[in-house]
Amino acid sequence: MTREQTSARRPRAARRSVPARRPARAPSRPRRPAPPPPRPPRLARLTGLVTRARRAWDRPLTAYYVLAGTGLLLTSLGLVMVFSASQIQALRYDLPATFYFRKQLLAAVLGAGLLLLAARMPVKLLRALTYPVLAVSVVLLALVQVPGVGVEVNGSTNWLNVGGPFQLQPSEFGKLALVLWGADLLARKGERGLLAQWRHLLVPLVPVALLVFGLVMVGGDMGTVMIMTAVLFGLLWLAGAPTRLFAGALATGAALVVFFIVTAPHRLDRLACIGATDPGPDDRCWQAVHGLYALASGGWLGSGLGASVEKWGELPEPHTDFIFAITGEELGLAGTLSVLGLFAALGYAGIRVAGRTEDLFVRYAAGGATAWLMTQTVINIGGVLGLLPIAGVPLPLFSYGGSALLPTMFAVGLLISFARSDPAAKAALAMRRPATRTLAGLGRKTKRRRG
């Protein structure tokens, strides 16, 4: 038997299986770190920022903090700018350089007390005071027109001499009275379901408002009447007045405005100065043009606090009606945009308070106060920028004038009170109080142990 036949007969199990050789492994290399994940696109990041901003804004206490913060910042920055813009004006009248600043500081201290009072005042007490406040305002507006009692300032007889250097402008308190009384009246009728009828919607709100407008207009203050008209329209809009009512009211108001402008030469001159870049004949556009000069010379960051040139006798009323122009000259575009941002935040917070409450009085009062502050801001800044006629109204919380500052700070205090009265805000504040008490107790125990 051959060797090939023997190997063929051997069973398969007896055959040796030769293991296959594995290929030699390559030397291990150090692992590289995983690449970072790709960054999200700019649009996604922007969307994320907007989402986080909305969540922050939707928190219950956001409006409360925004109103308190913007009111404090605007008043503080206004004091600084009044001090800077009024020094030369005071020296021109042989007064101490800090004369206007001290008066404004005193008004700010009194206004802070009114703000705290309004922020803590119960709504029932506030509604009970609406009619007395309106009655006092009407009496003061009537006293202004009594010869020998009223004082004329810059062509308008809207001032009362309180004593010494202090004067009172009742029309500023008339704005607050109209807001509170109109809100209380509409809330009472809304609770009874009477606002669906035109008779209850317009009477007696519109006649009383026209009485106040007439008393102010007799003194020649058309700018204040425009602000009060905006308050009236805001109250009617919140009460659900139909669109055709606003169309008729606007047509009537436009006709009256044209009549008052045509019958007063100085109002025609102010209307002709819109967009002017040259003082014109007889320097009738001097104030408007030099306000633009002040803004243009400020640049991005301004010439520096106190370094304004226009306040040295070139720009009239640098510390009152045109303080925004001095702000642009000394603090530049950054300063003016900051002021505009603060006013925008104040207005948006007021709208949020009016839109989220279920109390009709709070809704109307918050909406009316917001319409008052924002309309006055637009009229003042629009006149400084040359986009609107110069109306002679101060910038709220910012310009010099105690008569304007006191009711304005009271109105901001009301908005703060309304923001705190929201049920969600009440719950958030109630949750924070126990934590505050716990921290205070821990602090006391620590002091005792150390003692």
- Determine how many CB atoms are found less than 10 A away from the CB of residue 127: 17
**Is residue 443 over pLDDT 50?**
yes
User: What CA dihedral angle connects 49, 350, 359 and 241, to 10 degrees?
Assistant: -110
What are the φ and ψ backbone dihedral angles of 385, each rounded to 5 degrees? -80, -5
**Is residue 436 over pLDDT 80?**
no
Strands (E), 259-414: none
- Per-residue confidence (pLDDT) for residue 446, from 0 to 100: 55
- Determine how many CB atoms are found less than 10 A away from the CB of residue 164: 6
Q: In the 8-state DSSP scheme, what is residue 264?
A: -
Q: Contact 291/386 with Cβ under 8 angstroms?
A: yes
**Is residue 397 over pLDDT 50?**
yes
Query: For residue 112, which amino acid is it?
Result: A
User: What confidence tens digit (pLDDT) does each residue in 349-359 have?
Assistant: 999 999 999 99
**Is residue 362 over pLDDT 60?**
yes
User: What confidence tens digit (pLDDT) does each residue in 371-391 have?
Assistant: 999 999 999 999 999 999 999
Q: Contact 322/287 with Cβ under 8 angstroms?
A: yes
Helix (H) or strand (E) holding 152: strand 150-153
Length of the chain, please?
A: 451
- Per-residue confidence (pLDDT) for residue 83, from 0 to 100: 96
| Least reliable range by pLDDT among 26-35, 226-235, 404-413 | 26-35
pLDDT bin (cut points 50, 70, 90) of residue 309 is very high
Query: For residue 241, which amino acid is it?
Result: A
**Is residue 25 over pLDDT 90?**
no
- Determine how many CB atoms are found less than 10 A away from the CB of residue 256: 15
Residue closest to 399 by CA, chosen among 329, 283, 319: 319
User: What confidence tens digit (pLDDT) does each residue in 35-69 have?
Assistant: 666 556 777 777 777 777 777 777 888 999 999 99
Q: Whole-angstrom Cα distance, residue 105 to residue 366?
A: 27
- Per-residue confidence (pLDDT) for residue 8, from 0 to 100: 47
Q: What is the mean pLDDT of residues 239-265?
A: 86
Q: What is the mean pLDDT of residues 156-163?
A: 79
- Looking at every residue in the chain, the average pLDDT score rounds to 87
- Per-residue confidence (pLDDT) for residue 283, from 0 to 100: 87
pLDDT bin (cut points 50, 70, 90) of residue 424 is confident
pLDDT bin (cut points 50, 70, 90) of residue 266 is confident
pLDDT bin (cut points 50, 70, 90) of residue 439 is very low
| Cα maximum dimension of the chain | 153
